[in-house]
Structure 1
């Protein structure tokens, strides 16, 4: 049963896809839902600077693409200092976003040299210097990075405390998502048109980062080292936004097309802005042309007002989904609209509207601003609906989701590779169809091997039972020849058939070996095997040269033994061919050269043992030949008839009529949905209810002003403060109450 997995693992290794848990390979064959991270997975890992949008007097200035034009601008100082870069062998090392941002300023980074033999840490800060040729009158030439608060995906920001050369004040620069930086900024410093400007760039797929600062007057170095993060990151002055380009990887769009053609559910789970995520989803094909994108927005309960959920879309969904035209099996209803929502909405709905979670998971395609924990929650909810989930990501914040998924595929050799059974050396999603193909091939191989081994055992059992009728049996060396030369031989080469390279089909291989179809297949085979062996057994007794078996100690040689044994040899060969299923999961059997050579050689050997065996062979294997040649021909004719019947039964009756016609019709007519297919039941409910109630705009004003943008503090922020102690928790709740 492990042969298919081992060969699949070797083939994946040849494609630079490494597997540390071969048991997951078979599970990969059942995947019907694939979740992707965005940055570094669907899009390029590195980003290119597009430009910056400085703020002056609460207004966005014209976009600046040449950072040299930002002389003496606080925005440039923040870009040069707000990062966590370091020097390794003289080269900048750190987050690719930080590298691009810092390189765009033209500044230089200098770190203090500390000898290896130093016993104590030196209190010497990292320094950034302005480009050569700029005097002190134009721009501070040096800025010391005094203290850092590292980036947290939960908090969606990072901060750096700096001190300019010649200045007595410390300045904190904070960089993060626009929503978070705005919530920490003073309202009088944030442009009124921020929402419109942000939407303009994110809808085009740009990555937007906001920057703010705060002057820490009358503060000493010692006090800064002791101050809490939440006490510093507040009352910021909003400086502007940094716009970066994040291009799709060339492999992304074709791979998404392959997966969608197989009707796999595709989900994007990202920490980026929802508008950017939706734009990338449209560009790569997660949203098909003509599909309606419904934005789900949840409003928390505030001062007696209950929590509410709104569904908005630029066009009326009811015009897209005609009533009574929802065929769940054909995917019509599901393909008309898809949902997009943020991590904040996800958290509110899980707390206040848990009954909506299955619907969001079934129809959701883009989940933005998701924290690491929320990514893991989403994967687990999808699994609870009966999806077999694969997660593909490259970052540390994907580790939880990679570990929770049925199949985790890491595109990084860092932290995420430890949490996932698969790691691709090629950092693009082209590995996903390969893993699914090999998983389906391995699953098909395991199913074929299982049926072959069961058929082998029953064939041998039937032979023994029939021969018991005349008090005979198979000779020891006959058993040995069957077990070693036929069964072990075919079983070893059975899994060498490669995965089918054509299009992925919609339905994965059956995962249950004891379900209706495999048992029906085995029943048909056993019936045919029994009929052919009984035919040979009774036929040999009709010839005039036949004589009854007279028991001799240590010998089972008789005409019945010859007839049953010789015809059964060809039955094992026929079973190996019949159960070696080809497309759509594996290539055809003739492409497996090793198995074909083995089948041909063993067929010739068995034909020789049946037709023209030497005397020493009959003596060695303990059987006698019939004196008439015509019965030997009858044995071959029975073998050929058996081969035709079992191949017809497996390929036509089982794999086509039963699996593709009768089973879907019966399942659809009965409306059966197993516990493992809850998502189909949810989809039927949605089709019947014409859900969701879509409007073209929100009935209430959300984020209409800077004050309202600041209001909903992120729940992760409150949770972070609560971990710092009762005093911090109380302060956070007071801030939330004031904001609300």
Structure 2
């Protein structure tokens, strides 16, 4: 009876459907209303599974699946937990202790809980896709409209709409299917063959069995093969080493060395311990292990819980974009519906007063709804985004969330990582500064002048994570630069020796031959001068250093070498080994923009064995070190960096740097790239070491620093704050209310860890900034995901790091994104306003014709809806962005007064010109109106001719007016297809008005022109006055009223608006005195 409309409404609005059920406690609920972080509701049915006890779970486990994630009810905690959280309490020691694997009963329990290890992207059948496509309110409205037109005998128009709907549905189905197949193929391409797993058995030794990857569960102990293996899940390495290519996830093409997990009581975290974690889908190039032992790894995450699963889920369920434009568009559609109701009321009155048939009353009244609320509106609004996405793809910028392109148009602050983003990945060794007897020696630019036997040279040669792949040395660019500087050589066992490494020196480094001859006595020449790297402690962004344990064949004891951030190394060294001017020398080089690395070492006990080296904790090694010296490196700016920063500044887009590098180095780079200008002052915010009474101090630095004191004015655009990660954490703890004040004045965030980078982005968003973040996708994943516009510089088309991936390996991609974002946003606005006015123009036409006992014909409707409106709406979006960013951002609100007023003026102009044309017709002496006593509406009439042609001109005029170009789009003349369409349609409509041929007049149901009716012919010619005047008025409204500052100021005066709407603007207007500051040094 209701044709399933209530079902469609309930499926579209789950909260309404939830009203059918009664509220109850979570532990007894059968249906859950799940609302995600973005407020999107979903109704899900609870399920029950009977399993044995595990981790305090009862026998009957209650759970639900939501977006490929399983949530299990924990009765003790009285909340739902994900399956990942079941292992979240595992410490490093707990992961290391079980070396026998799971037994069959443990495995079965875990399999029941976690399910199969698979990431499946369902490829639905075309029939299923068709049903899902059709079963929504849009198609219900479309079906309602078609039925109404068929009842009203608009056969031709209804058939055309049906055919177009079928065509668009099939096109959409094919595109959806292709996307599913592409994502499915991407997932399937990284599948592996059988995996060797340890199973605990009653025997003394566990069994090694082969199982399918789909059968793996968290806790399984797997044996990694020697080489060329695609990881089927996330695993943590327990023994040996692995060389892995993670480009499929992070975009980093440099192979990464993964080392065995160290013991400890801390909780395991895949992000914190990523140097020990091998992620699903990544390519394991080869393994390294010692003493004939296998390389073992423990499964920690499977299926969609893996990092690869997160990437797939982010594509399947993209984060909704909360742009005000979309919310406002719904409000405007509601406004149109309100107008439709008013028109329906008038139509009812009109036809009832004429004693019309009930069928005519119902059909004419309902027809108003299909006119005022255009069914093509949702599709038309995506045109601009699709064109922009295609243009971005051509220049190497890929997007997994197209709606975010519109968000790019509103970016207010641009955040950048430093290394690999603003500067090159590679580092150039400038020189080294050895230290001796608490004094720095002279800088050394040629390593051959240093003693090869010195600990300093040997530290540079051994303290790295380099490896050879296919005979080529590769690894971190910093390590490569340091090792190349030493001119030493590195030897590793060949690929055929993956399964077995030498007990003492798995990786060997040795100086060039001419150096060996200098340091080796003839009688000792049989002992080669080589240093074996026994164990690596990889670089940690948290600890900001790395260490190795090494042994020279000429020595009887092992040595630990450490290198890292000078601030961190200083705390690890014995005070008596540090030069007195350590801080002064560090500040000198970092202020000049150099990357400074400190190096230290310590001799280990002669009793310290190879076995001890594999078990020793990192913190034991990284203490009581002897300082060796500093490595001074240059990280040159990318050529494109400074021009891009200049462009952003000119466009009034604030730029900030969020980096893990030294604060003074970051400041220097900021001056070099133009983020800070030469006459700007920078104040470094630091916190005291006292945890009880923490004091915060500002110290002036920068290129403009002088001996004289300055008056600090934080309201000045030339005063900036730089803060490091340690101070940030202390300030958040001591004075959380001070964070917003700090954010609006800070330009440099240095020595920030990955989670702190994400915090900065999130806090900026809370201040109403639209934030973009550009990074290399490695240590910036959290910040890139958190930002409104996250851009990962990566050669891959899709990265787990961000919604945008740029193959352009520099920050010029952000300018392209902002240009396209502004273009897409303005185009969406233009198309929306055009479609709204198109419906209202037709609404006015139909109401006036109803009043005059007339209608539009089938072919007239076809011409307006399919030829004029469709061709113009589609070609409007073809205008590309300009070459330069302008200082003003495009509007974001449709319902703001400054946008509504011009729109209302355009609507009024349309109505007045239609009424004016009718008035001119009524004034003609030869005009005979349609009699009131007609039983059927007359289509072929002068009333129809006048309103049809005038309204056609209005569609073309408004499309042209809303296609204005600069400053957010190219000039209209560059849009050749639109210009051609508009001109062709204008010529054709003029022909229909002035002198249509008889056959065309009959087809379009218009009054034909006859040669002997000169007065009527002149009337047709005079009708051209209305489109001409309308064009002038419409252009004037857009040129002198729309988007004009005077209108905005008038509205603000009328509203008596005294404060800005955005929080960050209100903060900038306040007098920042920073009462939490204790000391200011100038």
Give the structure-2-normalised TM-score.
0.61
Deviations 1:163-212 (A, max 9, x none): 11132211111110001111111111111110011011111000000011
State the match for 2:829 in structure 1: 447
Unaligned runs of 5+ in 1: 327-332, 699-740
Going from structure 1 to structure 2, the CA distance change for 1:659 and 1:264 (only over 3 Å counts) comes to farther
Q: How many angstroms apart in 2 are the aligned matches of 1:480 and 1:32?
A: 44
Q: How big is the shift at 1:37?
A: 0.7
Q: How many angstroms apart in 1 are the aligned matches of 2:537 and 2:759?
A: 27
State the match for 2:395 in structure 1: 15
Q: How big is the shift at 1:21?
A: 1.9
2:695–2:1078 Cα contact (<8 Å) kept? no
State the match for 1:425 in structure 2: 807
Q: How big is the shift at 1:223?
A: 1.5
Q: How many angstroms apart in 2 are the aligned matches of 1:157 and 1:121?
A: 27
State the match for 1:255 in structure 2: 644
**Correspondence for 1:32 among 396, 412, 424:** 412
1:299–1:348 Cα contact (<8 Å) kept? no
Q: How big is the shift at 1:119?
A: 5.9
199-208 vs 210-219, greater mean Cα deviation: 210-219
512-521 vs 53-62, greater mean Cα deviation: 512-521
Going from structure 1 to structure 2, the CA distance change for 1:19 and 1:415 (only over 3 Å counts) comes to closer
Deviations 1:292-337 (A, max 9, x none): 21111122543xx42221122256786464xxxx9xxxxxx34131
Q: How big is the shift at 1:671?
A: 1.9
628-637 vs 382-391, greater mean Cα deviation: 628-637
Within 5 A, what are the aligned runs for 1:66-77? 66-71=446-451, 72-77=453-458
Deviating 4+ runs (over 4 angstroms): 118-124, 314-318, 552-555, 657-661, 663-667, 689-696
Q: How big is the shift at 1:512?
A: 1.7
State the match for 1:330 in structure 2: none
2:853–2:937 Cα contact (<8 Å) kept? no
**Correspondence for 1:184 among 567, 572, 580:** 572
**Correspondence for 2:444 among 64, 76, 91:** 64
2:429–2:481 Cα contact (<8 Å) kept? yes
Q: How big is the shift at 1:70?
A: 1.4
Q: How many angstroms apart in 2 are the aligned matches of 1:294 and 1:197?
A: 20
1:403 aligns with 2:785: yes
2:545–2:562 Cα contact (<8 Å) kept? yes
Q: How big is the shift at 1:113?
A: 1.9
Going from structure 1 to structure 2, the CA distance change for 1:666 and 1:126 (only over 3 Å counts) comes to farther
1:685 aligns with 2:1070: yes
Q: How many angstroms apart in 2 are the aligned matches of 1:129 and 1:192?
A: 33
State the match for 1:100 in structure 2: 481
2:820–2:881 Cα contact (<8 Å) kept? yes
Q: How big is the shift at 1:6?
A: 1.1
Q: How many angstroms apart in 2 are the aligned matches of 1:283 and 1:693?
A: 29
Q: How big is the shift at 1:505?
A: 2.2
State the match for 2:969 in structure 1: 586
State the match for 1:335 in structure 2: 717
Within 5 A, what are the aligned runs for 1:547-626? 547-550=928-931, 551=934, 553=936, 555-625=938-1008
**Correspondence for 1:388 among 736, 754, 770:** 770
Q: How many angstroms apart in 2 are the aligned matches of 1:463 and 1:106?
A: 84
Q: How many angstroms apart in 2 are the aligned matches of 1:666 and 1:232?
A: 70
Q: How big is the shift at 1:506?
A: 2.4
Partner-residue secondary structure (3-state), 2:761:
helix
**Correspondence for 2:512 among 122, 131, 137:** 131
RMSD between superposed Cα atoms in Å? 2.2
Give the structure-1-normalised TM-score.
0.88
Going from structure 1 to structure 2, the CA distance change for 1:178 and 1:683 (only over 3 Å counts) comes to same
1:114–1:122 Cα contact (<8 Å) kept? no
**Correspondence for 2:927 among 541, 546, 557:** 546
State the match for 1:207 in structure 2: 595
Within 5 A, what are the aligned runs for 1:190-229? 190-217=578-605, 218-229=607-618
Partner-residue secondary structure (3-state), 2:515:
coil
Which structure is richer in relative contact order (CA contacts within 8 A, separation 6 or more)? 1
Q: How many angstroms apart in 2 are the aligned matches of 1:61 and 1:524?
A: 78
Q: How big is the shift at 1:693?
A: 6.7
Within 5 A, what are the aligned runs for 1:155-304? 155-217=543-605, 218-299=607-688, 301-302=690-691
State the match for 1:150 in structure 2: 538
Q: How many angstroms apart in 2 are the aligned matches of 1:28 and 1:151?
A: 35
1:444–1:581 Cα contact (<8 Å) kept? no
415-424 vs 262-271, greater mean Cα deviation: 415-424
State the match for 1:704 in structure 2: none
1:52 aligns with 2:425: no
Going from structure 1 to structure 2, the CA distance change for 1:506 and 1:694 (only over 3 Å counts) comes to farther
Deviations 1:529-583 (A, max 9, x none): 0000001112112112111214464742221111111100000000001111311
Going from structure 1 to structure 2, the CA distance change for 1:409 and 1:115 (only over 3 Å counts) comes to same
State the match for 1:352 in structure 2: 734
Q: How many angstroms apart in 1 are the aligned matches of 2:382 and 2:596?
A: 49
**Correspondence for 2:896 among 515, 527, 541:** 515
Q: How many angstroms apart in 2 are the aligned matches of 1:359 and 1:282?
A: 23
Partner-residue secondary structure (3-state), 2:717:
helix
Q: How many angstroms apart in 1 are the aligned matches of 2:1050 and 2:779?
A: 45
1:372–1:401 Cα contact (<8 Å) kept? yes
Going from structure 1 to structure 2, the CA distance change for 1:357 and 1:415 (only over 3 Å counts) comes to farther
Unaligned runs of 5+ in 2: 1-380, 521-527
Going from structure 1 to structure 2, the CA distance change for 1:227 and 1:363 (only over 3 Å counts) comes to same
1:697 aligns with 2:1078: no
Going from structure 1 to structure 2, the CA distance change for 1:542 and 1:414 (only over 3 Å counts) comes to closer
Q: How big is the shift at 1:426?
A: 2.2
Going from structure 1 to structure 2, the CA distance change for 1:128 and 1:443 (only over 3 Å counts) comes to same
1:312–1:694 Cα contact (<8 Å) kept? no
Partner-residue secondary structure (3-state), 2:799:
helix
Q: How big is the shift at 1:259?
A: 0.6
Q: How big is the shift at 1:697?
A: 2.8
Deviations 1:220-261 (A, max 9, x none): 111111111112211111111100011111111111111111
Q: How many angstroms apart in 2 are the aligned matches of 1:464 and 1:412?
A: 55
Going from structure 1 to structure 2, the CA distance change for 1:632 and 1:318 (only over 3 Å counts) comes to farther
Deviations 1:126-181 (A, max 9, x none): 11111012337727721101111111111101111101113221111111000111
Deviations 1:483-515 (A, max 9, x none): 11111101111111110213x222211112222
Q: How many angstroms apart in 2 are the aligned matches of 1:582 and 1:172?
A: 65
State the match for 1:529 in structure 2: 910
State the match for 1:82 in structure 2: 463
Deviations 1:24-58 (A, max 9, x none): 11000000100011111111110110111111111
Q: How many angstroms apart in 2 are the aligned matches of 1:288 and 1:28?
A: 26
Going from structure 1 to structure 2, the CA distance change for 1:181 and 1:46 (only over 3 Å counts) comes to same
Q: How many angstroms apart in 2 are the aligned matches of 1:663 and 1:211?
A: 63
State the match for 1:671 in structure 2: 1058
Going from structure 1 to structure 2, the CA distance change for 1:334 and 1:459 (only over 3 Å counts) comes to farther
Deviations 1:616-638 (A, max 9, x none): 22221223247511211222110
Partner-residue secondary structure (3-state), 1:244:
strand
Deviations 1:55-83 (A, max 9, x none): 11111111111111111221110000000
State the match for 1:6 in structure 2: 386
Q: How big is the shift at 1:659?
A: 5.3
2:761–2:786 Cα contact (<8 Å) kept? yes
**Correspondence for 2:849 among 441, 459, 467:** 467
1:517–1:658 Cα contact (<8 Å) kept? no
